[in-house]
Amino acid sequence: MRILVTGGTGYIGSHTCVEAINAGHEAVVFDNLSNSSEESLNRVRAVTGTRPVFVKGDIRDRAAVSALLDKFSFDAVIHFAGLKAVGESVSKPWEYYENNICGTLVLMDELRKHGVFNFVFSSSATVYGNPEKLPLTEDAPLSALNPYGQTKLWQEDMMRAMACADPRWHIVLLRYFNPVGAHPSGLMGEDPNGIPNNLMPYITQVAIGRLRELSVFGNDYPTRDGTCIRDYIHVCDLAAGHIAVLSKINDMPGCDAVNLGSGHGYSVLEIVHAFEKAIGRPLPYRIASRRAGDAAECYADASKAERVFGWKTKRGIDEICRDAWKWQSMNPNGYGQSAS
Ligand code: NAD
Ligand code: UFG
């Protein structure tokens, strides 16, 4: 298949390009580089031998999207492009609505005009809001806790309505749990701008000495050790999930949501200790107060993905920590500058 990968220079998109190329697909990346570097595609080439075609552009730019779709005929689209920082979305809601909602509307409008209807969307477990019942199944109630989550929820709603109105759409909404880790080569990984908001990149930057210590946000939750529980999924497993979807998408008319998670929850302290095991030394951390908006516990019922696509995670927490650390130690400054 020839696949359009929007946001393909980003963290999950670049790892998905690797899996796509390894599965014999052709990837064309469209990204405005607002949160990524084209260097990630050189790394895709280093890992696979093939550099995806890259077109720099913005999904809100109708002329650019239309020109792209005139130039290439695509069998499917994987739509990663979007802004994704929860905290930033609270301070810059307009930017999130405009980028994520307007961009997706332009993209999908041009896709239907060009006859491309196989569409895989990067949704998030954030659409479940504060979970009422665990593990989370795809039919759990949906709600938004912040503008970022609202954009995911609205995009899902838009996609359901569009598929309902036009039977040519085949849309799969992939609800990711917590993507972490890096390619085992150490050549590709997560390269956040500024101080990371998320646990794993924060931990790796403490371990490399860029940050002083980890703050564990709250140890008074009703969980086994008092810290929050999440479902961490290795980014290569997540990427492979997209390829499994592509193999079935022609048989999936309509719009269907599927969780991509491991089905296992780990607490923040369990992650810290697994990481300490991976690096062979203690990680400086302190217990801090709770972070506003965090749910105590969130993990997937991952059985639908296995049933529908024959996909499940293969890598556990030790590989996640090992690969995250390999990436960070080989690239202390991310894609900006590699270690010699
Ligand atoms: P990322 O920021 O690394 O990748 C997103 C890419 O989209 C970036 O390369 C950015 O430059 C590009 N982009 C943003 N706006 C664009 C626009 N208007 N036009 C063209 N390109 C644009 O993020 P990621 O972690 O790889 O996430 C990919 C997708 O998965 C996002 O939609 C995100 O919301 C979703 N998601 C991520 C997580 C996570 O924890 N990483 C969890 C759930 C869902
Ligand atoms: N945490 C800390 N210290 C830190 C960072 C995080 O203790 O410095 C804790 C958080 O309180 C939380 C856990 O580590 O309990 C995980 O936090 P992350 O920020 O890594 O991830 P979240 O579960 O909050 O959210 C992530 C993405 C969202 C996405 C959600 C579900 O950031 O975009 O997973 O996919 F919606």
Indicate which residue's Cα is closest to atom 3 of ligand 2. 216
Distance 21 CA to ligand 1 centre (A): 20
List all residues whose CB is within 6 A of at least one atom of ligand 2: 84, 86, 124-126, 176-178, 197-199, 202, 214-217, 228, 230, 268, 291, 294
Ligand at shortest distance from the CA of 126 = 2
Q: Using the predicted structure, report yes or no on whether residue 337 has a pLDDT greater than 80.
A: no
Interval 171-210: pLDDT, tens: 999 999 999 999 999 999 999 989 999 999 999 999 999 9
Q: What is the pLDDT of residue 293?
A: 87
Q: Cβ atoms within 10 A of the Cβ of 127, count?
A: 24
Residue found under tokens 């529908």: 308
Ligand at shortest distance from the CA of 269 = 2
Indicate which residue's Cα is closest to atom 3 of ligand 1. 10
Distance 283 CA to ligand 2 centre (A): 18
Name the residues annotated as catalytic.
148
Of 151, 230, 258, 297, the residue with max ligand 2 atoms within 8 A of its CB, to mutate for a pocket test, comes to 230
Q: Is the pTM higher than 0.95?
A: yes
Distance 155 CA to ligand 2 centre (A): 22
The average pLDDT across 325-334 equals 96
CB 176 within 8 A of CB 238: yes
Those residues with Cβ within 8 angstroms of residue 34's Cβ, 6 or more apart along the chain or in another chain? 83
Q: Using the predicted structure, report yes or no on whether residue 339 has a pLDDT greater than 50.
A: no
Q: Which helix (H) or strand (E) holds 239?
A: helix 235-246
Distance CA 329, CA 124 (A): 29
Q: Which helix (H) or strand (E) holds 325?
A: helix 317-330
Whether 298 is in the pocket of ligand 1, judged by its Cβ within 6 Å, is no
Interval 7-63: pLDDT, tens: 999 999 999 999 999 999 999 999 999 999 999 999 999 999 999 999 999 999 999
Indicate which residue's Cα is closest to atom 14 of ligand 1. 82
Whether 7 is in the pocket of ligand 1, judged by its Cβ within 6 Å, is yes
